[in-house]
Structure 1
């Protein structure tokens, strides 16, 4: 019995450790700094974490899976932009998230936007949109099949002018 208990405890610990490996930024300027340093695009996750059923479903079916975790660690810098109804947020985070919601024209949740970003000397953030998606049925494999091309096509050098889509915040 002790052996079964210890194995179960080990497996729970392994799963919890893997889930903790993903770093979700809530401060977009900090995420941009990391994105540019690591030469990875941003994955901006617009969510209503405590009320949006499709957001919760996306979290459980995709964003909390080992397949997504491996892909995300290799491919993107994760940013959670949350619009909760019950969970308290600082005024700074609310202001930042509302500005980004307007800048990207977000009208529904969940929306996942892939972008490159730079910060000007004046502190203005310029985003170059690479593509977006939301909930995709079929688990991590189906979701990653939609998301991965946005990231693969996002060489972190300057984008061609004709394909550039900038957003200012």
Structure 2
């Protein structure tokens, strides 16, 4: 009887610990709205690509949804890490593409080579013509219990306009 009680107590402790790790952290409430399900994703990408082309940048596309805890955590990491945010904004035009039951953006994601196969968030690097030059599984940019600002910055450094086109950079 005591062994059963002890087993049950251990099983419940593990279950509670696992449950608590998947719960949203501070600033990750269901009310967070960083993705716009009604946005015209293709128009946003086209505008970002045109601007990137003029400024010798690439486009960083983050695909995810307001339902995705890891998408919100990534967004918060960028917002709370000035060096990362500045690097991203200095070298890329950024677009958030919604994927949710309200709007799966299927046509746009098909054109972007179906990046959702890697899970969410998923990151894409587009050139100034809006063509995909890289798709990044965000899981490879994690360290410990979340995304790593260092791994993300290292990833971004490899996909800047200058890194991909060293002879074309001004």
The TM-score with structure 2 as length reference comes to 0.58
Change (3 A) 1:83 1:28: same
Number of residue-to-residue matches in the alignment: 118
Give ranges in structure 2 of 5+ residues lacking alignment.
1-39
Residues 1:127 and 2:137 are matched in the alignment: no
Q: Kindly indicate whether the alpha-carbon contact (under 8 Å) linking 1:62 and 1:68 is maintained by their aligned counterparts in 2.
A: yes
Distance 1:68 1:84, change over 3 A: farther
Residue pairs, 1:59-138, within 5 angstroms = 59-85=75-101, 94=103, 97-103=105-111, 104-106=113-115, 107=117, 108-118=119-129, 127-135=131-139, 136-138=141-143
| Distance in 2, Cα, partners of 1:117 & 1:99 | 20
Q: How well do the aligned residues superpose, as a CA RMSD in angstroms?
A: 2.8
Q: Which sections of structure 1, spanning at least 5 residues, go unmatched?
A: 1-24, 89-93, 119-125, 159-169
Corresponding position: 1:153 with 2:157: no
Computing the radius of gyration from Cα coordinates, the structure with the larger value is 2
When normalised by structure 1's length, the TM-score is 0.58
Structure 1 stretches of 4+ with a deviation exceeding 4 A read: none
